Structure 1
Amino acid sequence: MAKAISNGNHALSSLLLAGLLATTSGAALAQEQGGAPGGGDALETITVTARKQAENLQDTPISITAFSAQRLEAQGIAQVNRIQDFTPNLTFANIPSNSGVASNAAVYIRGIGQSDFAPTVEPGVGIYVDGVYLGRTVGGVFDLIDVNSVEVLRGPQGTLFGRNTIGGAINVTTIQPDDSVRVKGDFKYGTDNLVNLRAMVSGPLADGLYAKVAGGIFRQDGYVNAPALGKKLGNKDSSTIRGTLRLAPQDSGLEVTLSADYTRDKSHGAPVVVTGIDPAAAGSFVTLQNFIATGFGNPADCLTTAAVTNTNCYNQRLYSNDTNYSTGPTFSDLKLWSASLTASYEIADDMQLKSITAIRRINGSFAQDRDGSNLGINHVYDVFTQKQFSQEFQFVGKAMDGRLNWVTGLYFFKEKGQDINPIDFLVVSAQSGGYYDYKNWAAFAQLGFKVTEALTLTGGLRYTEDRKDYLPDQYVVSTLLPFLDIPTGTRTVPYQTVEANVNKWTPMVSLSYQVQPDLMLYATYSQGFKGGGYTQRIFPPEPSLPSFRPETVDSYEAGFKLMALDNRLRLNAAAFYTNYQDMQLLVADASRVGPFITNAGKARIQGLEIEGNFVPGDGWRLNAAAGMTDAKFKRLDAGVQGLALDSKFVLVSKWTLSASVEKEIELGGAGALTPHVDWSYRSGFFTNANGINDPHLYQPGYSVVNASIRWQDPSRVYSLTFGVDNIADKKFRVFGDYQPSFGFYMQAFDRGRQYYARAGVSF
């Protein structure tokens, strides 16, 4: 497989053929209208809101993958990060970064994203829930309980979405209550005492007044032994509740929706293990520990076979793929809640005013004994809080008999909080972290004009002011003499507020041509940016807090969208080329302890996506998708360490492939059976930027196959599903970390094969 994929021309030909024959990911359906979800003689109409208004996917000149509630269920997706398995050129990982947080979204689209959770750096892909931007990646890997659709928008969305959508956006919409009384619920039990319980009730309270309540409980045992801590890491213990009240008086043109939710996510800690050390890291803390353990002799003596039982040595006794030997506190505890008020008013048939007001809070504490041993080499603790407020006004409309459409608006975002980060590094204890206070203002407009009935020109522009104040509160608590002689209380950086401010225009222009009713061609140029910031983790002391500049991209995209065979075949494809300037990377520096963020230089990224669905009839549904991301550094800034021009992007595969097949088998009066099989493939990638293509941090290409069979009663009210995920029990890497100043490799692997049964009700 790997050899075949390395042949670019052969692979592309095969993918195009596969697209024509079987073809968007089994994923590809947002709000569905018409057609049967399980099959039927024609594909559904897909409605998306990627451009702030409801549009047919096939009429939207953007590369989008969309998932409906039905598709999420068919693919067995209960947590948002699982969409990466069926979305071309998407990485949605859950990694602890440089902390012990158990829910941290590391999202990359077309090679652009961010893995660090620290509030001094922004995510590269924006996540939105019902139009509300989630400012922090902490808590960003959430469970899906009442989701109506999930849309993945590739490429910078710098006009309509703006802040930190340099790589793209993930747009989640929840089910809105209406006149219909709806009850949904399911119970899932599986491997390692997996228990998922989800429920939703929605319907009218009075004329024009509707309500919805939804909630979920998600539990599962851990799978990495931590004997000294008396628990297993990688467990899940999360609960969520959401309530919605919607006022929509008939014929009034007014609609007001109030929503609120609360989530508690508590776990034993991320499922990380130590897999090795780097003997060449002569100045590392591991080497210093082994120097002490040998009575100030030869540190290499700790690495001999005879020393394997020496508990003062840091050596191969700690290496494992399923056991962590930590003795220090390791846990993750998050509380998240939010509320939003969305009001819209129909000024006229073709004009609407909309307001989205929202608040969100995160309170978290998490800790990790990162060295995975009984030795105090690297332990971190975080007290993390965030408060955000956002206000958006939109004016959407059409004119000139529908030839002109527009979206204009104003946006304000404010957040403040802290990440106080005590650390213990063998010879020093210190406090790291600080307090942040950010504000963001923007004005935007996007206009589309039908030059002819077939040709549409769309242009957009956004002006953004981004203001960031950060106060580092970092000082030495104690040091171990004679190895380090820094007085207690010494500030590692001055206790003074620093600023990172930027004003930026981001344009977009798109040309689409409707060759025929079922075929559209389009080409788009768009620009995106992400604000600059500061490195949070500093040691030894420095005269000022190191900073980094904003990063920008210029993206060029061309594609087509096709419906064929009497709406039985949908085939969408896009090719793109991106210039990436001043890219922000988390890298190592031999002069500093711990990672830091820097502007690495310039890169170019090119690639393609192809997605499709095919319903040949008789209950069959075939889906396939493929993505290629070819990312290459073109220039590295002076002083960047641990990287070379041939270094690979972190967590980014060149190839992402997926396919699925399902068939609804009618059983007459006994209901229906739907067998489903899906396959996904990711080519090799590196899990960490530190070290030039370090093989210890490389995950070779791998495939995952899942299968399920669902029974539904004749009324489609009750269902029972049996399934198995990761049939081949692949234990692939999902996280890896190496820092030269510490000298050990820390990694996390997938849980492996899982069985489950799910019983559901929906009416």
Structure 2
Amino acid sequence: MLATLPMLLLAQTALASQTVVITDAGAASAVAATAAVTTPVVDEAPEDEAAEKSGGAGDIVVTARRRTERVQEVPIALSVIGGEELQKSGAFNVNRLQQQLPSLQFYSSNPRNSAINIRGLGAPFGLTNDGIEQGVGFYVDGVYIGRIGASTFDFVDVERVEVLRGPQGTLYGKNTTAGALNVTTRAPSFSPEARVEVSGGNYDFVQAKASASGPLADNLALRLSASATTRKGTIYDVTSDEYLHRQRNLGLRGALLWKATDTLDLTLSGDFNVQNPECCVQYYARVGRTQRPLARQYDALAAAFGYSPPSKNPFDRVTDLDASINSRQEIGGVSLVANWDVGAATLTSVSAWRYWDWQPQNDRDFTGLPITTVSQNPSQQRQVSQEIRLASNGKNKLDYTVGAFFFHQTINTQGSQVQGSAASRFLLSGADASNPNVLNGLTSTNTINFDNTSFAVFGKLNWAVTDKLHIQPGLRVNYDKKSGFYDAVVSLHNSQYDFVATADNVAALLAANPAGSAARTTFQNQINTLAPQRYSPRFSAWNVSGDVTLSYDFSPDVHGYATYSRSFKSGGINLSGLPLNSTSTGVDLTTQTVKPEKVNAYELGLKTQFLDRRLTLNLAGFWTDITDYQATVNNNAINVIRGYLANAGKVRSRGAEFDASFRPSKRLNLYVNGAFTDAKYIDFKNAPCPPELSGGTATAPGGVTDPAGTPGGRSPAYCDISGQRLPGISKWSFSFGGEYNVPVGGSGGEVYVGYDGSYRSRFSSNPSPSAYTWIEGGSLSNFRLGYRKNDFNVFAWVRNAFNRDYFELLSTQSGSTGLIVGQPGDPRTFGGTISKSF
């Protein structure tokens, strides 16, 4: 995706012979000066004389550097989707956005456990570990959002979404090694305006959006906006007689723009979002053989309880979860953005405070059996950030952007996990497996704290060696300091024991029971299931990043560039529990921290336009090598439910991307975008094993093992998965579609029909590729048919029109039972939308 911006072009169907100019509204960030546009307004008048004469299909021109600059000439991999196109396609959050951007991947088992990846890189696949950074930066109006979980809100009054690929640390406040995703909301206006949009559909879907803006004084403008979404769930829970995977979202936003002088403006913004979706459910998908004895695999275990799920066809969309389900979150904050034009340059300040409160409840065993009856990690995040940038104005022989960034974040988590009466049979072996009292009521209460401080200075030059040749070097110096605290206290109350086990007394409690005794075995089984542990990890380091881009304008419509980036993703600390050491009485403290990722990225790009700019074709090839890649592992440890972090030796992501858009007339728009991504572990010799090799008798490294899926077999201590594919990544992905309109009524009205499709090939849904967790590829199709005139638009829509059954995620049940659970994608939905601007 190379700045073709075909989706935004589709939104401008009425401007077939005009240049679309995205201008600076006085609050554009200096970051945007070279890469993207922030806080814009849209001016439909032609700005570029050459483009005006071409009669071509709507060039997109950015002026965030206070000079006219066609996006096609910006040497960076960049895609933009405008607010109108978001409305038409139904992409009202990040999850739906990925269907339009082949290089973007978004995965979420619930809002907290979400990941945004670009070109297959960004965050390790699996449950979230708070102690590490995200490789893809998420920004709202220039403010960095410290946790991806806080990115799952519905878009409210959005002007545009921009996706940048590759390392961005020399231009962006936070160091991002895989890319950045920017959401820009509509700015306050000095001309009175209002927008109203209402949608309704099946599953009792109702969504309403409204915004209003206007002047309060000659130099003061206000904008208020709101969005509310509700929808019945798509999965029926027979236990609670409720539909899960519902939507209950509310978003409010306000912005106040003060034009203090002709050269100084300040924008004060605030937002509040609350979601209570009762998601995200995973349930029976299939069963595969593991290395556990056959009597301890899922089929036999379920039969022992006389249990069967309500359906073994996951697309019947019915489950019987016996634990409470909740995914409530509250997101909000305030920011102040100031822009001061000092003549030769613009000084920008972005100050922000944000919070995120997360209140989950889960059924972590994914069945109607009381195995794990409570598993939740409520957490509260607070962050403050300050960014200052200075960017040169005009179009000079040497332009620059320099800046400094400070970020401080705290996260406090109160975790709890409770085992039920079926836990002993599912998780234990020997005599204790038949005694439900061994694990019934076993409770772990976790206190987890995280403190993260980051500081950086960065800069980027643009040297025009000639009118056609530009050299753009960048540099970043970064400091990160992280500290944490993890304390798990385990309580058990039954006929045998009544005690509280902590990291301090567990050894004494073990010693009080003679080795080899039944009591000692029972106690050992309990602490192996939920181990008391306490540790305080620390990490701090400086690093230096840099990049250089060479760009050349072969002609006014053919532009090439080459980029090399050396970047770092900060080291991290493990805050989800550590694996037990060899004595099973303590934790392996060598796994407290993970080293920084070191990234070398190479990219070649070519941006072209033909036929009076009616046809756009952009190409790029990329190659990224990462050493000390941060991966989520669990080594089959029952007590580390969420997994812990480790460094893989080396990972490589390489591939090619293209964007193509064609406007043969102002009545017809067509586009197709594609990406080939080959992302592999190059060196990961001590990885966790897939489920088919897990659960058997443990063997020493290098010892004799049995073939995969041998009940009662011998399992390797770890597996070499070098050469295998990274999880969550399709080798091939495409988006495609178009829109055709016909004038009616002779007064500017038109009827239109549109189609948006996407395709992704199969991908692995397990950190170590497994035969049981491949998600097969397929396509999704969305249609719309409507009428619009001036500021009025009404259309009917259908999404997933052919009702394709597919999984968003597949996971394994703890304990190597062989149960594979899945989270299905949305079924076919249909409805209508009506909107009006005033």
Report the counterpart of residue 797 of structure 2 in structure 1.
Answer: 723
Instruction: Tell me if 1:80 matches 2:94.
Output: yes
Residues 1:629 and 2:677 aligned together:
yes
- Whether 2:733 is the aligned partner of 1:663: answer no
Q: Which of 557, 561, 566 is the aligned partner of 2:607?
A: 561
- 102 and 447 in structure 1: CA distance in 2 versus 1, 3 angstrom threshold: closer
Partner of 2:587: 542
The aligned amino acid for 1:463 is V
Partner of 2:268: 258
Name the residue aligned to 1:525: 564
> Are the aligned partners of 1:390 and 1:413 in contact in 2 as well (CA < 8 Å)?
yes
More moved, 496-505 vs 233-242: 496-505
Per-residue CA distance 1:378-435 (angstroms, 9 max, x = gap): 3411211000000000000047x61111100110000002122211243242123510
1:35 shift after superposition: 8.0
Q: Which amino acid aligns with 1:215?
A: A
Q: Distance in 2 between matches of 1:687 and 1:654?
A: 14
User: In the alignment, is residue 338 of structure 1 matched against residue 333 of structure 2?
Assistant: yes
Matched, 1:373 2:419: no
* Structure 1 equivalent of residue 731 of structure 2: 654
Question: In structure 1, how many angstroms separate the alpha carbons of the residues matched to 2:56 and 2:522?
Answer: 72
- Which residue number corresponds to residue 292 of structure 1? none
* Secondary structure at 1:303 match in 2: helix
Moved more, 452-461 or 264-273: 264-273
Q: 2:58 corresponds to which letter in structure 1?
A: E
**Residue among 634, 646, 662 paired with 1:588:** 634
Q: Is the 8 A contact 1:353 1:396 kept in 2?
A: yes
Query: Within the alignment, does 1:386 sit opposite 2:381 as a pair?
Result: yes
Q: 1:203 offset after TM fit, Å?
A: 1.6
How big is each residue's C-alpha offset from its partner over 1:701-748, in whole Å with a ceiling of 9 and x where there is no partner? 1011111012113xx122111010111111211112125535332210
Among 702, 709, 727, the residue aligned to 2:785: 709
Take 1:457 and 1:484, find their aligned partners in 2: how far apart are those partners? 68
Aligned position for 1:467: 481
Residues 582/299 of structure 1: CA separation in 2 closer, same or farther (3 Å cut)? closer
Could you say which residue in structure 1 is the equivalent of 2:115? 106
Task: Please tell me whether residue 645 in structure 1 is matched to residue 732 in structure 2.
Answer: no
- Provide Cα deviations, 1:291-329, integer angstroms capped at 9, x if missing partner: xxxxxxx446x736xx9776x256666744112211112
How far off is 1:572 after superposition? 1.7
Query: 1:334 touches 1:364 (CA, 8 Å); kept in 2?
Result: yes
Residues 82-481 of structure 1: pairs in structure 2 closer than 5 A? 82-93=96-107, 95-96=108-109, 101-102=110-111, 104-114=113-123, 115=125, 116-161=127-172, 163-249=174-260, 252-282=262-292, 298-299=295-296, 303=299, 312=305, 319-321=312-314, 322-348=317-343, 350-378=344-372, 379-398=374-393, 402-425=396-419, 426=423, 427=439, 428-432=442-446, 434-478=448-492
Q: CA 1:467 to 1:125, structure 2 compared with 1: closer, same or farther past 3 Å?
A: same
> How far apart are residue 208 of structure 1 and its match?
1.3
Aligned mate of 1:514, from 539, 547, 553: 553
Give the Å deviation of 1:69. 1.4
Matched positions, count: 711
**For the structure 1 residues 433 and 703, does the alpha-carbon distance in structure 2 shift closer, same or farther, using more than 3 Å as the test?**
farther
**TM-score calculated relative to the size of structure 1:** 0.88
Question: Secondary structure of 1:267's match?
Answer: coil
Q: Select which of 673, 681, 684 maps to 2:762.
A: 684
Retained in 1: the 8 A contact 2:309–2:367? no
Structure 1 contact 277–315 (Cα < 8 Å) conserved: no
Cα distance in 1, alignment partners of residues 269 and 766 from structure 2 = 39
Secondary structure of the residue aligned to 1:443 is strand
Q: Is the 8 A contact 2:157 2:185 kept in 1?
A: yes
Contact 1:432 1:537 in 2 (8 A): no
CA distance in 1, matches of 2:443, 2:84: 51
Question: Per-residue deviation at 1:637?
Answer: 4.4
**1:6 aligned residue:** none
Q: Contact (CA 8 Å) 1:25, 1:86: kept in 2 or not?
A: no
Q: SS state of the match for residue 607, structure 1?
A: strand
For the 8 Å contact 2:309–2:368, the answer to whether it is kept is: no
**Contact preservation (8 Å) 2:451, 2:482:** yes
Within the candidate set 781, 802, 808, 1:734 is matched to 808
- CA change 1:423–1:314 in 2 (3 A) is farther
**How far does the alpha carbon of each residue in 1:335-384 deviate from its partner, in whole angstroms, 9 at most, with x for none?**
11110000110000x31111000010011110101223332323411211
Indicate how the Cα distance of structure 1 residues 432 and 274 shifts in structure 2: closer, same or farther if over 3 A, else same.
farther
Code of the aligned partner of 2:150:
G
1:490-543 CA-to-partner distances (Å, cap 9, x unmatched) read 995654432111211110100000111111110001122222223333365415
- Give me the TM-score of the superposition, normalised by structure 2: 0.80
- For 1:609, the equivalent position in structure 2 comes to 657
Deviation at 1:562, TM superposition (A): 1.6
> Structure 1 residues 639 and 675 mapped into 2: Cα distance closer, same or farther (>3 Å)?
closer
When Rg is computed on C-alpha atoms for both structures, the one with the higher figure is: 2
Residue 573 of structure 1: aligned partner: 619
Structure 1 CA distance for aligned equivalents of residues 150 and 382 of structure 2: 13
Q: Quick one: structure 1 residues 517 and 449, their matched pair in 2 at CA, closer, same or farther if it must change by over 3 Å?
A: same
Deviation at 1:53, TM superposition (A): 9.4
Structure 2 CA distance for aligned equivalents of residues 638 and 724 of structure 1? 46
Alignment deviations for residues 27-76 of structure 1 (CA, whole Å, 9 cap, x no partner): 5689455489xxx9633332469999985311211111111112223333
563-572 or 725-734: which moved more? 563-572
- CA distance 1:515–1:222, shift in 2 (3 Å): same
Determine if contact 2:636/2:688 at 8 Å carries over to the other structure: no
Q: Is the 8 Å Cα contact of residues 270 and 332 (structure 2) preserved in structure 1?
A: yes
1:105-161, CA deviations, whole angstroms, 9 ceiling, x for partnerless residues? 321111102244331222221100111111011131221221111111011112112
Which amino acid in 2 is paired with 1:733? Answer: F
Q: Which amino acid aligns with 1:678?
A: D
Cα distance, 1:592 vs. partner? 5.0
- CA change 1:604–1:163 in 2 (3 A) is same
C-alpha separation in 2, matches of 1:418 and 1:51: 40
Q: CA deviation at 1:580?
A: 1.4
Matched residue of 1:501: which SS? Answer: strand
- Residue type at the aligned position of 1:117: T
2:72 matches 1:58: yes
**Unaligned stretches of 5+ residues in structure 1:** 1-14, 288-297
CA–CA separation in structure 1 for the residues paired with 2:63 and 2:820: 43
SS in 1 for 2:86: helix
Distance 1:66 1:601 in 2: 35
How far off its partner does 1:564 sit?
2.1
Equivalent residue, structure 2, for 1:745: 820
CA distance in 2, matches of 1:54, 1:467: 41
